[in-house]
Amino acid sequence: MKKRFLLMLGMIVLVSMIIVGCSGEEATTDDPANDDGTETTDTTTGSGGKLAEVMDRGHLIMGSNNTLPGFGYLNSAGEEEGFDVELGQVMATAIFGDKDAIEYRPLSAQERFTAVQSGEVDVLIRNTTWTLTRDVEVGLAFGPTTFYDGQGMMVPADSGFTTLEDLQGARIGVEQGTTTELNLTDQMRARGVDFEPVLFADRDSLIAAYESGTVDAWTTDQSGLVASYEVLADPSEHVIMDVVLSKEPLGPAVLDGDTRFFEVMYWSIMATIQAEEFGMTSENVDDFLDSEDPDIQRFLGVEPGNGAQLGLEEDFAYQIIKQVGNYGEIFDRNIGAESPFNLERGLNALYTDGGILYSPPFR
């Protein structure tokens, strides 16, 4: 009898403990929800992180290229200018409300990834291709693709070269530490074409060697080949072959592991695309402030919420468009219709205009 009583008493205590434990778990694991019933997820990295570091410093440090006309180069006044430069200004504007709150650190192809990994730069916006290895092994987190490019080949106009097979036995110049090295080797091997790759530390020395005849051809992204016409002594003596060796999705990147800073990079760039979708430009953005469209109100910060979620001012998107412009303005000014290069938008047009650019909703 005594044993049965003790056994029953133990079972009662055990059941009581389970009930109390379950009640406590329910009380502490309720998921917070927004007013619309959707779950709220905390994606911050704490009160510190890269965003706080940048804000405390008072300016953004961007890894750049200052030798690629159209994308990143020094103008006659010694100032950084170009498509990638303005994308850096977009991010600076989002964080500080000031497009000039940015410092540019010119980096070679070999230096760029180490500079991000070591924290020397906050963001890399330097004609850099998004690949699996760079995403995983190098430890970068790539933002939106800002320029869909492809690798091409430049040859002398009187060379007679029209196909890759014509380059049998040729010396081909390529910049060291870039995806173009591997792409070139893969494409030539697939075609059974023997060639001699000649590696150069930077773009300037590569172009100089090509013009002097040290190499028979040179390869890089097609946008880079087009940009080189600005520095060639006689552009009419050179042609870009009608071949595409690879896909080259170019875009900004930050060090992986800091979700909040990545989100700031991502959504600040997306703001330029969304603005173009709205038909919003640096010239007319003020006209949209009185819009009754809730999507536009949220985008411009008239209806608060977006900025607070990112740790930014509510009008961060408005400031981006007002100070820098939408994606189309940035493109045309630097590499498109208003530039010496006059590049077609192609894949880099909005999805409504035959391209593939598309912004997720700002809500």
Summarised one tens digit per residue, pLDDT across range 282-310 is: 999 999 999 999 999 999 999 999 999 99
Residue 191 · residue 216 · CB < 8 Å: no
Q: Tell me the per-residue pLDDT of 34-44, one tens digit each, with 9 for 90 and over.
A: 444 444 334 34
Residue 185 pLDDT: 95
Average pLDDT over residues 191-199: 97
CA–CA gap between residue 220 and residue 152 (Å, rounded): 6
Q: Tell me the per-residue pLDDT of 75-109, one tens digit each, with 9 for 90 and over.
A: 999 999 999 999 999 999 999 999 999 999 999 98
Residue 178 pLDDT: 87
Residue 126 · residue 223 · CB < 8 Å: no
Average pLDDT over residues 221-250: 94
Whether 1 has a pLDDT exceeding 60, the answer reads no
Average pLDDT over residues 16-29: 41
Contacts of residue 254, Cβ cutoff 8 Å, sequence gap at least 6: 50, 116, 122, 123, 124, 140, 141, 143, 261, 262, 265
Task: Specify the higher pLDDT residue, 38 or 73.
Answer: 73
Residue 55 has, within 13 A of its CA and on its CB side, a CA count of: 15
* Separation of first and last alpha carbons in the chain: 68
The confidence band for 118, taking pLDDT boundaries of 50, 70 and 90, is: very high
CA–CA gap between residue 338 and residue 251 (Å, rounded): 22
Residue 275 · residue 93 · CB < 8 Å: no
59-93 b/e with 16+ CB inside 10 Å = b?
Answer: bbbbbbbbbbbbbbbeeeeeebbbbbbbbbbbbbb
CA–CA gap between residue 363 and residue 361 (Å, rounded): 6
Whether 31 has a pLDDT exceeding 50, the answer reads no
Q: Which amino acid is it at 117?
A: Q
Contacts of residue 275, Cβ cutoff 8 Å, sequence gap at least 6: 281, 285, 299, 317, 320, 321, 326, 327
Residue 113 pLDDT: 97
CA–CA gap between residue 161 and residue 12 (Å, rounded): 89
Domains of the chain and CATH, by start: 49-146+251-353 (3.40.190.10), 149-247 (3.40.190.10)
CA–CA gap between residue 206 and residue 227 (Å, rounded): 14
Residue 360 pLDDT: 98
Query: What's the mean per-residue pLDDT of the chain?
Result: 89
Q: Tell me the per-residue pLDDT of 135-176, one tens digit each, with 9 for 90 and over.
A: 999 999 999 999 999 999 999 999 999 999 999 999 999 999
CA–CA gap between residue 49 and residue 310 (Å, rounded): 13
Average pLDDT over residues 225-247: 94
Which whole-number Å values give the CA distances from 243 to 151, 154, 165, 184, in the listed order? Answer: 8, 10, 11, 12
With the C-alpha atoms ordered 299, 302, 305, 309, is the resulting torsion angle positive or negative?
A: positive
Q: For residue 45, give both structure tokens.
A: 């990295």
Which whole-number Å values give the CA distances from 85 to 50, 125, 343, in the listed order? Answer: 20, 8, 18
The crossing angle, in degrees rounded to 10, of helices 327-334 and 83-96 is 140
φ/ψ (deg, to 5) at 220: -165, -170
Average pLDDT over residues 192-196: 97
